Structure 1
Amino acid sequence: MKKVTIVFIFFFTSFLSSQTNSFNISGTLVAEDGNFPLESATVYLQRVIDSTLITYTISDRNGEFTLENKTTDKKANLYISYVGYQTYSKVINLDKEFTDLGKIKMQINTEALDEIVIKSTAPITIKRDTLEFNVKSFKTRKDANVEDLLKELPGVEVDEEGNIQVNGKPVNRIFVNGKPFFGDDPTITTRSLTKDIVEKIQILDTKTKDQAFTGEEVDGENKTVNLVIKEENNKGVFGRVAAGAGTDNHYEYAGMFNYFDNDRRISFLAGGNDINSPGFSFGEIRQMFGGGNNIRLGSGQGLIESQNFGTNYADKYGEKVDVSANYFYSGSNSENKNISNRENILADSRFFTTSTSNSFNDSDSHNANFEIDIKIDSTLLINIEPSFRYSKSNTQFSEDETSSDEFNALLNQSTLTSNVETFGKNFSNEIDVTKRFGSNGAFLRLSLDNEINVRERDDFLNSETNIFGENPEDVLRNQYTDGENKVDNLSSRLTYRLPLIGKEFFVEFQYRYDFNKQEDKKSTFDLDTDTQEYSNFNIDLSTDFEYINEANTPSVEFEYRKKDWSASMEASYVFRTLENKDMLRPEFTIQRDFEAVELRSRFRYRFSPQSSLRVGYNLNNNPPRLSQLQAFRDVSNPLNTVVGNPNLEPENNHRVYARYNNFNFQKGFGFYGFFRATIDNNTVVRKTVIDENLVRETTFANVNGNYDVNGYVSVSKKVKIDSLRTLNFDVGIGPNIRRTINFNNDVQYASNNTSLSPRLGMRFIWKDVLEFNPRYRLSYTQNTFDIENFDDQEFISHSLNLNSATFLPKGFEWRNDVSFNYNPNVADGFQKSAWFWNATLAYSVLKNKGTVTLKAYDLLNQNTNARRIATQNYIEDVESTVLQQYFMLSFSWKFNSLGSAAEDFEDGGRRQRYRRG
């Protein structure tokens, strides 16, 4: 009977879609007071019956708009919204295909002079560089979280790991009412907060507090999402708890509690599991506790058991002080077995290395972060961000490795066991003091950043290395190393911006001072066989270094801004001193001075609210690392001695880039294109010489001729079949061409790498019935070389994902995530292909407040992470421990007292709040 019902619904919906009528509504918006066009106004169409959104668009720079779609309705309500103007409304007859409304004069909202704040139902509003979405305009299931909501917004993409992109640009921060919510992990916010407490979602360019305070323009390469909580939902408690038990004694648990009292927010979370989910992500179905269905073929390494606890606090004291703080504890223990087979390519021969390793790790870390904003007045802002961290870990490691020539003759072998205990302490602080002058963008800013990082290490090592051949040698080590590494960083910046022409042309002067000091002390003691104590000091394996990297950088930047475009040019001159003091070997003490010019430029043009182009050029100068400069012989690896080169020169990096995006919200069409070319001069590369027993000596050298050209193009299209069914298509391709200069056994050569990664995806949505999301990806790599005995290489792999969700019968949700990976190039003995199938069946109980979930991980029991790694010098096949098949039954319950007293204020989705004074 249920099958018959589903079939009936399908054909009935198909019948309804056949009765839909196409419409095309156009017009031009002008201001009544000046008769000039109004760009970025929101034009939207709603059903008369229930005010459901049919479609919407944004007016262009000429004030013109066109609404196109299909509907079964004969009439609809048209609304036009623009900040500072009265909302225009009209009933539109949809009995004809084309409707031209001509010129529409928008009237100024005179009530705005009385500070009346109107909260309209416009689905999208554009305020300068900020996109604002009205949550009520986007339909999701009743128990949807913020991540579900974001997936419905035009131009927003959320992948299976919870990473968010807006118009092709990554989201790196999520705020709640303008304040951070549990640190830097956005999935904690998007998967724990439910849609029903959010009123609006704002998307804007990522800026620091002081950049937002001064109104500076940023590069726009990262986006910030701000969740605006409904005013009536700013007081109360909400959260959820869950727990699960499974086969093979697997378990998981998680809980979150939130208390909101207007500006004050207090939150707690805790979680733990043994299913490889070291972070905290709360999704009941797709990613319960951050694990489960998201672990795909080739992604997991080892078995991890973890526990997490955290608390977050935010408040406002008076009108001048904002405070936020959070604390996190995370603990984990893991085990992993790794097997690798490597084919090493030499100029005149090849050799093969096989290794097997086992590792066990226990770690604990404590993190505390604070942020204090003090707004002295409207022109002076002080921002203070201290951070503390303490960590400790213990790692037990063992490895067996053998190397043989191409005739299978054994050349060397080694065994190693170690026990390492590490303690780390870190303190950092950022202070920014910003003073604005006038209203044209002038400001003076002083920034001070400092960091103190101390790491102590106790290392017990027992190893044996056997070198065969004409000069056989056995290297035996039984040692204890007491190590301490200390890093002191100080960075200060003084910035002054001066407007030259109004708010359009600026000059910015900056002076930056950077000081980095590292102390690296390792005292290694060999075992005294007579006393059985580690008392024989080994100077060859001990170090006592002091590194100093000091730089003074004055710079000047010119920036020009217009409504639709902006351009900037910055030039810096770096005075840098690198100094290395060797307390054990004073003859290796060095000091080098470098000077360099650095350039940055960018140009941005906005064709429309949905379309923009950005191009730029950067010249960067990177000095060699001190470890590459110092002539100290590092003999910690008996098979590879590393010696620095004090004559190295700095690297120069030239980079040009272009990005173009065009997203049409109404037509559901999106295009994103990216191009970048990088040319490197004086690149520092490793230079290794290998003897007949495969014992290596490595140093460093500068080379020219490296370049990298890459890009990415993606096209997406949303097809609305009817009010219930939609199809989303997306296709993308990312070509890359890279040339690198290297050394192989003291012979210089060039390698050319060409790679191509096309992908194709589709998402079919039948609301409240079915979701189906197949994705395919092909990875192709070709390596060519200009050296004899190096064969050209080609690698290809295939990845197919089939994700589905079914929501029938009522209250049930059945999700299946199926992936197939095929890597034909993996060596014999490694698994070349596998199907990976995860499934969850959930049922809502207790009036949708509770959920019972049955989860099946790796139903086909084929999970593997075998993979091939190819470089210019070797080809390696690797396989590690992965999580095996299990089944788990879980229960979750959510609670919410927010907004319980606010229902009387609802008025058809439209509310007014008066602030007369």
Structure 2
Amino acid sequence: MTKILFSILFLFSIVSYSQDFSLSGKIIDATTKEPLEASTIYAESLKDSTLVSYTISDQKGAFELEGETGLKEVNVIFSYNGYKPLVMNVSLKKNVNLGQVQLEEMAEELEGVLIVGDRVPITIKKDTLEFNADSFKTKPDASVEDVLKKLPGVEVDSDGKITVNGKEVDQVLVNGQVFFSNDPKVATKSLPKDIIDKIQISDTKTKEQEFSGEAGDGESKTINLTIKEDKNKGYLGRLAAGYGTDERYQVNALLNYFNNKKRLSFIGSSNNINNSGFSFDEIYDMVGNTSGGYSGAQESGLINNFGNGITTSSNLGASYANSEKGVYEIDANYFFGYSDSYNDQKTSRENILPDSRYFTENESNFDGSTNSNRGAANIEYDVDKTLRVTVQPSLSVNRTNSINRNSTVSMDETGDLINTNDRTTVNDGFQRNFSNRMGIMKKLDTIGKLISFSFSNDNSQNRSTSNLNSTREVFGDDPSVEEVNQLSDINNRRNSYELEARYRHPLTTKLFLDVGYEYKNDQRDNAKDVMDYDEDSNGYTQFNESLSSDFNFGNIQQSPFIGLRHNGDKLNLRVNASYVLTDLKNEDFLQGTSFSNSYKNLLFRSRIRYTMGKNRRLYLRYNSGLSIPSVNQLQPVPNVNNPLNVVIGNPNLLPSVNHGVDLNYSNYNWKERSGVFIYTGLDIQKDKVSAISTTDENFLRTTRYTNIDGNYRGYGGIGFSKQIKKDSLFTLKFNLRPRLNYGRQVSFTNGVELKAKTFDVSPFFSTTYNYKELLEIEPGYGITFNNTKYNLDNIEDIEYTSQNASLRLTSFWPNNLIWGNDLRYTYNGNVGPGYKKDALFWNMSLGLQLMQDKGTLKVLAYDLLDQNINTRRTTGEDFIQDYQGTVLQQYFMASFTYKFDQFGGKKPNTGSRGRRYYN
């Protein structure tokens, strides 16, 4: 350890011996003498064209290229979209003023012939930020995720979530097409960096925005990966297999076939280490889920499981994409998944009453399996340049079965036993869902007038058979024992249809009027037959009418709307108002009762985006939304799945209205290589559907629902990142992300209003240090301060602290040897007795690259110190709860990964046509 610390200090000390340089000037059009904003200026070494530093010009065309290097002389390249690149040979000094740099506009050439600088690290094209993947050095055989971590303003967390200047990336495309699914991690973890030409980042757009050519809302980001010309025809494959102690295993396979715009992909995996199975990282895959709870990737279709404990899963998938510019675009995928999960967990819960409290200890065991089939497609067809038709069908079929055993004990404040409940629930279910969206968009002129129609449906069926076997015992002055043995048949159907018509009329070249109408019809049939066990007939023959139900729930909404939008160069404004007429109808065929209600709501949505140059943006958004109560919240039929807490719906509930406002600001300084993202927001809920609980003297609870005002949630935070780079020697990148959350939750217990105000602050800091391609160090630390205050004097306020520290150290020296260490320390403050508060989790891996780097032999130690835990504390308006669940235990695994590819595409243009050289 001493040697490692000494080496780190030595590497950081190199900074003091580096040579600073600064090149300044102004880029203008050679003909008009107008400044060229957002030009790219970058310096390369003369020897091997290694990128030294780069920057972007400001609104006045001014630039200042700064860096640290041991080089005495470099090539400085000036590039602007549509202009001939210019190269200058510059001798480096402390300060060099290059004066006015004039770029000449490109002459128009034949279609398909493009003259550009071949190594421009970054280009700004209108609303798209484009990076040259080869300009950012990574380790050999790096994935797309590895190069994303090198890009300025881009962050990738430990779970693979990507953000760009604070905005989440919600989709990653390959050559403009969906890659397997909408889950970005499928592409970023499985595709190698060396086949990627450009990484293009832009605001995510709706189908209508894509067709009309307008800018996206800016609320999320899309990354498009373009494949190199010489890699865009051929195939790419990955195979991996590993086996270890405790019978742990993992098998992965991936095959991609590219032929220009056509792509065919296959994926397969199987493992019992909570891994989603699509990563081929040489050192850190096959380590499972450290928290012990595997939530899978249901959006991607890769898996469908129960989300906690340890999961054994297998997946098979296929994906197809093809397009012809201006004619059609199609992508389709199919997945089959099987999973088997089990989880042993215990909870300790302090239940808060207005004048007292009681304690509940629960232990449960869950074991369940599911298999799923899912197919989806996206088809776009351009009848001509003004008319587009889209179809997006999706079908999923799932079968599930599970058994859940629970044992619960309740005690009063003195520790005396009040009641117990032992229950076993066995479920066998079937779910089927078909959804589709069809759209037609027609441009009526060339200045923004258009009309669009869309129709969507969502048809689902959920059938299940459930057996409940329960024994509830109450102690005290009036002891009792209640046994329940019931069989329930549930058949729920949903048929939902939506129709929308929209017309856009240009008032000016930048101001547009939107008018339209939306119709929704949501019909749900919920039937539940409960049969009690009859000892005489030795079967479930006694119909329990009080717990059975046969409901039809109808929700019809009509929404005429009107809106204005302004699409300016700096100001982008949208204001929309809709008048929502809601008709709810509920019929109880079993009880012969029905109710209906009508509601009228005026809702508003607005968004302002103000752009201050190419790098700074300010967003302000307000939304009001309507939330309809669920069927279970409306049905006045007792739910006794938990005999200690019987839940009864309320058919008189009102829809709740949520008012949300948020403000955020983002800026990236190319000169300083630093970015900042500031955000804040507030959500206020009117008529929120909240629980009203009544607890009797035996601590048996009955829960109903009502509408309550006074609930709100606020949040805010700052994100700051900075990158320091010394040519090809080292890169240092650090991030600071403090955030806070606050809110108030309102409920009623035994007729008394309970208000819980929550406040938590969570500062987080992380950094990444890369020394050449030999060493990568990634430390991080976060701490969360939690505070909950109650309105009743007899209830004590709660304060607790949780901490997380991590260190990832990866060495790529000597050649062909990769040594990885991943350490994480977790501390959970104030958890109750019997729950472990802290743990040091350490994974270690050693990989050897073979067969000209096509193969990797690896040995992994998972949870080397055998300390992995899954413990946490949560609080609510009337409870404090500690939780502990099953986690993946220590194991050791040996694995082998093999990579193969063959390409026969067009060789890329590596010449320097169009460049001008100045010495």
TM over 0.5: yes
1:651, distance to aligned residue in structure 2 (A): 2.4
Give a deviation string over 1:132-186, Cα, whole Å, max 9, x none: 1111211112211111111111111111111111111111111110111111222
Matched, 1:314 2:314: no
1:683, distance to aligned residue in structure 2 (A): 2.3
Alpha-carbon distance in structure 2 between the residues aligned to 1:662 and 1:318: 35
- 1:73-88 matches, within 5 Å, as 73-88=71-86
Out of 738, 745, 762, which is 1:757 matched to?
Answer: 762
CA pair 141-793 structure 1, distance change in 2 beyond 3 A: same
Report if aligned partners of 2:291, 2:887 keep a CA contact under 8 Å in 1. Answer: no
Match of 2:842 in 1: 837
Residue identity matched to 1:814: W
Deviates more, 1:526-535 or 1:444-453: 526-535
Report if aligned partners of 1:677, 1:707 keep a CA contact under 8 Å in 2. Answer: yes
Alpha-carbon distance in structure 2 between the residues aligned to 1:334 and 1:697: 31
Match of 1:72 in 2: 70
Alpha-carbon distance in structure 1 between the residues aligned to 2:352 and 2:577: 43
Match of 1:426 in 2: 433
Match of 1:907 in 2: 910
SS in 2 for 1:723: coil
Residue identity matched to 1:83: N
SS in 2 for 1:541: coil
CA pair 355-749 structure 1, distance change in 2 beyond 3 A: closer
Alpha-carbon distance in structure 2 between the residues aligned to 1:202 and 1:742: 48
Match of 1:896 in 2: 901
Match of 2:480 in 1: 473
Out of 104, 110, 113, which is 1:116 matched to?
Answer: 113
Out of 739, 746, 751, which is 1:734 matched to?
Answer: 739
Match of 1:97 in 2: 94
Out of 577, 582, 587, which is 2:583 matched to?
Answer: 577
Out of 383, 398, 414, which is 2:390 matched to?
Answer: 383
Alpha-carbon distance in structure 2 between the residues aligned to 1:671 and 1:220: 16
- 1:455-494 matches, within 5 Å, as 455-494=462-501
Match of 2:299 in 1: none
CA pair 630-246 structure 1, distance change in 2 beyond 3 A: closer
Matched, 1:884 2:886: no
Deviates more, 1:351-360 or 1:703-712: 703-712
Residue identity matched to 2:599: F
Matched, 1:495 2:496: no
Residue identity matched to 1:693: N
1:781, distance to aligned residue in structure 2 (A): 0.8
1:5, distance to aligned residue in structure 2 (A): 13
CA pair 278-728 structure 1, distance change in 2 beyond 3 A: closer
Out of 20, 23, 35, which is 2:21 matched to?
Answer: 23
Alpha-carbon distance in structure 2 between the residues aligned to 1:108 and 1:833: 63
SS in 1 for 2:199: strand
Match of 1:709 in 2: 714
Matched, 1:295 2:295: no
Residue identity matched to 1:490: Y
Matched, 1:256 2:254: yes
1:317, distance to aligned residue in structure 2 (A): 6.2
Deviates more, 1:313-322 or 1:265-274: 313-322
Match of 1:171 in 2: 169
CA pair 318-762 structure 1, distance change in 2 beyond 3 A: closer
Match of 1:355 in 2: 362
Match of 1:365 in 2: 372
Residue identity matched to 1:259: Y
Report if aligned partners of 1:347, 1:788 keep a CA contact under 8 Å in 2. Answer: no
- 1:29-68 matches, within 5 Å, as 29-68=27-66
- 1:75-474 matches, within 5 Å, as 75-94=73-92, 96-112=93-109, 116-120=113-117, 121-278=119-276, 280-288=278-286, 291-292=287-288, 295-296=290-291, 301-316=308-323, 320-474=327-481
Match of 2:302 in 1: none
User: What is the total number of aligned residue pairs between the two structures?
Assistant: 901
CA pair 31-911 structure 1, distance change in 2 beyond 3 A: closer
Match of 1:560 in 2: 566
1:620, distance to aligned residue in structure 2 (A): 2.4
Residue identity matched to 2:615: Q
Deviates more, 1:316-325 or 1:186-195: 316-325
Report if aligned partners of 2:78, 2:85 keep a CA contact under 8 Å in 1. Answer: yes
Report if aligned partners of 1:578, 1:626 keep a CA contact under 8 Å in 2. Answer: no
Q: CA RMSD in A?
A: 2.3
Report if aligned partners of 2:273, 2:312 keep a CA contact under 8 Å in 1. Answer: yes
- 1:596-675 matches, within 5 Å, as 596-675=601-680
CA pair 716-159 structure 1, distance change in 2 beyond 3 A: same
1:616, distance to aligned residue in structure 2 (A): 1.8
Unaligned 5+ runs, structure 1: none
Match of 2:878 in 1: 873
1:339, distance to aligned residue in structure 2 (A): 0.9
Deviates more, 1:279-288 or 1:351-360: 279-288
Alpha-carbon distance in structure 1 between the residues aligned to 2:724 and 2:278: 35
SS in 2 for 1:584: coil
Alpha-carbon distance in structure 1 between the residues aligned to 2:347 and 2:754: 26
1:630, distance to aligned residue in structure 2 (A): 4.4
CA pair 82-748 structure 1, distance change in 2 beyond 3 A: same
CA pair 533-735 structure 1, distance change in 2 beyond 3 A: same
Match of 1:769 in 2: 774
Residue identity matched to 1:594: Y
1:696, distance to aligned residue in structure 2 (A): 1.8
Residue identity matched to 2:104: Q
Report if aligned partners of 1:599, 1:618 keep a CA contact under 8 Å in 2. Answer: yes
Report if aligned partners of 1:78, 1:92 keep a CA contact under 8 Å in 2. Answer: yes
Alpha-carbon distance in structure 2 between the residues aligned to 1:8 and 1:281: 31
Match of 2:808 in 1: 803
Report if aligned partners of 2:51, 2:727 keep a CA contact under 8 Å in 1. Answer: no
CA pair 308-153 structure 1, distance change in 2 beyond 3 A: same
Alpha-carbon distance in structure 2 between the residues aligned to 1:5 and 1:577: 69
Matched, 1:529 2:535: yes
Alpha-carbon distance in structure 1 between the residues aligned to 2:789 and 2:898: 57
Give a deviation string over 1:33-85, Cα, whole Å, max 9, x none: 33322211111111122111111111111111111112222221121111121
Report if aligned partners of 1:687, 1:698 keep a CA contact under 8 Å in 2. Answer: yes
Alpha-carbon distance in structure 2 between the residues aligned to 1:440 and 1:902: 38
Report if aligned partners of 2:252, 2:277 keep a CA contact under 8 Å in 1. Answer: no
CA pair 735-304 structure 1, distance change in 2 beyond 3 A: same
CA pair 31-777 structure 1, distance change in 2 beyond 3 A: same
Report if aligned partners of 1:297, 1:819 keep a CA contact under 8 Å in 2. Answer: no
CA pair 466-199 structure 1, distance change in 2 beyond 3 A: same
CA pair 10-896 structure 1, distance change in 2 beyond 3 A: farther
1:282, distance to aligned residue in structure 2 (A): 3.2
Match of 1:511 in 2: 517
SS in 1 for 2:252: strand
CA pair 432-575 structure 1, distance change in 2 beyond 3 A: same
CA pair 279-238 structure 1, distance change in 2 beyond 3 A: closer
Report if aligned partners of 1:298, 1:866 keep a CA contact under 8 Å in 2. Answer: no
